[in-house]
A = this chain, B = another copy of it.
Amino acid sequence: MTTTDEKKAVGTTAALMVRNGMRVGLGSGTTVAYLIDALGSRHVDASYVASSPATATAARAAGLRLEEADEWAHLDLAIDGADQVGEDGWIAKGAGGALTREKVICAAASRYVVIIDSTKLVSTIGSPIALELLDFGLAATLARLQGVSLRLSERTPNGGVLADFRGEIPNVEEFADRLAATPGVIEHGLFAPAMIDEVLVARDSTVESLTRPL
């Protein structure tokens, strides 16, 4: 299977997790786009929360019913892609820039499922690590966070700016804690193993769960 085939396969498989009456969070990215296509074909009576303008547009085009951003207090399920899935269970996200809302959606969901093609599996998480930074004091925040460069892109929907850390990460947990405690960092792209309920990976002609048998 090509990477595109794998993305399509895992997106289609994950769509089967959505049941009538569920409120479901949708991540962002190319694999989630295949998930949205598959959900549009299934005609399940569910409602959805989008993590990015691109996902909202795709979901509307597929005929999915979107919740307004501020009216939901809980999600039954959330499904999202990832840039890297490490053997230790840590995940890196944010290449697409939607990391902050994706993490809010992750935290709000009873079940958070990550869907990836096999190229996303890594032995240990490495850089780049995506960051959303506060505009106020940005030059000072960048001066303290060594190895972080701004992306040339517009503001996020949260009013922040996107950046990427490049460098060594000797201990991913310590690095995540340090980023979380750094003033001026709105969010970082590292998701701890405890936040993730299941990883579905498409490999060769199968979709397998790294957590438990499907």
A residues with CB within 8 A of B? 49, 69-75, 100-101, 103-108, 134-144, 157-159, 176-177, 180-184, 186-187
Q: Contact check, A73 vs B104: say whether CB atoms are below 8 A apart.
A: no
For the complex with contacts A70-B138, A101-B137, A104-B137, 5 further pairs of A-B residues with Cβ separation under 8 Å are A70-B137, A74-B143, A100-B136, A108-B140, A136-B157
Q: Contact check, B101 vs A136: say whether CB atoms are below 8 A apart.
A: yes
User: Can you tell how many copies of this chain the complex includes?
Assistant: 2
Q: Contact check, A106 vs B183: say whether CB atoms are below 8 A apart.
A: yes
Residues of chain B contacted by A182 (CB below 8 angstroms): 107
Closest beta carbon of chain B to A196's beta carbon, Å = 13
> Considering the chains assembled together, what is the distance between the CA atoms of A4 and B90 in angstroms?
52
Closest beta carbon of chain B to A34's beta carbon, Å = 24
Residues of chain B contacted by A69 (CB below 8 angstroms): 135-137
Q: Contact check, A134 vs B158: say whether CB atoms are below 8 A apart.
A: yes
Closest beta carbon of chain B to A166's beta carbon, Å = 19
* Across the A-B interface, the 5 shortest Cβ-Cβ residue pairs: A108-B140, A104-B137, A159-B159, A73-B139, A103-B183
> Considering the chains assembled together, what is the distance between the CA atoms of A89 and B136 in angstroms?
27
Instruction: Pick the contact of A105: B70, B72, B137, B180 (CB < 8 A).
Output: B137
> Considering the chains assembled together, what is the distance between the CA atoms of A98 and B135 in angstroms?
15
Closest beta carbon of chain B to A118's beta carbon, Å = 28
Residues of chain B contacted by A104 (CB below 8 angstroms): 134, 136-137, 140-141, 183-184
